Amino acid sequence: MRFSKIKQKLLRGESALVTCCHFIDPQVYELTSLYGFDGIWLDLEHHSTSDETAATLMRAARVGSADIVVRPAKGEFMRTARLLEAGAQAIMYPQCDSAEEAADLVRWTKFAPQGRRGVDGAGPDNPYCATPMPGYLKAANEQTLLIVQIESPTALAAAPEIAKVPGVDVLMLGPGDLSVMAGIPYQFDHPLIQGAYAQVAQAAAAAGKHWGTVTGSPEHSRMLMDKGAKLLFHGCDLIMVRNGMEAIQKNYAPLGFSFDNQLAAEATRIANLK
């Protein structure tokens, strides 16, 4: 099996940078992995990507060096094992609200004696029954990275106990969902959100674990790293393409070109709703 690049960097006290891919063309995953990012975030919580398609994307990424960080939906514990068998190096579990839920994640993603993950070994994780099972089971338990997301006021209060769960490697603050659930949607400068960074950082440090979150810029990343964040998620292929198209339109409008930008019109319509 491929050991987690991110986990190895965290164990050395180094920071890791992950970017997100929403497009489901394998070439995007191949390209991103060949560029040497520490990880690619594959989101199955909010998107309709099937396990079969996810496996194809992971296969494309294996030509490079990037970890695949897969996020299933809340409660999809049985799915996590299939994603690991398909070759994911990390599981990001969303909206974890308690230590008990975090322990369930560990139970479904670790082999005995740490958990109750079922044994197969026929997928690319073993790979393909080519590795002696005792060694594979030990390596899988040690090398699989488990990231637990803190995304609600309830979860924030429970962060110290969640961090203490054996097998949890990283606490990841989700400021978007936290802001919505706290009634301050996308007010990222609000004291509650700013305080959440410190709370998650403190909970992780007290338990000897790492923490991370999403970041929008190098300046923001530096602030997070100064607070001890080691795992940073930045960028998305969808946004990169959108920004590139908007730049073309901006640059060519002075030459007399016009565009029927329906996305901009929709954004204006929504903004003007009373």
What residues does 70 pair with on adjacent strands?
A: 42, 91
Residue-wise pLDDT for 26-68, tens only, equals 999 999 999 999 999 999 999 999 999 999 999 999 999 999 9
Distances (CA, A) of 92 to 44, 161, 191, 253: 10, 18, 26, 42
95: its two tokens: 């909206």
**What CATH number was assigned to the domain covering residues 5-236?**
3.20.20.60
Q: What is the pLDDT of residues 57-85, one digit of tens each?
A: 999 999 999 999 999 999 999 999 999 99
Domain ranges of the chain: 5-236
Phi-psi region of 36 (alpha: psi -120 to 50; beta: other; left: phi over 0): left
Low-confidence ranges of the chain (pLDDT < 50): none
What Cα–Cα distance (Å) separates residue 196 from each residue in 151, 251, 272?
10, 40, 32
pLDDT of residue 190: 97
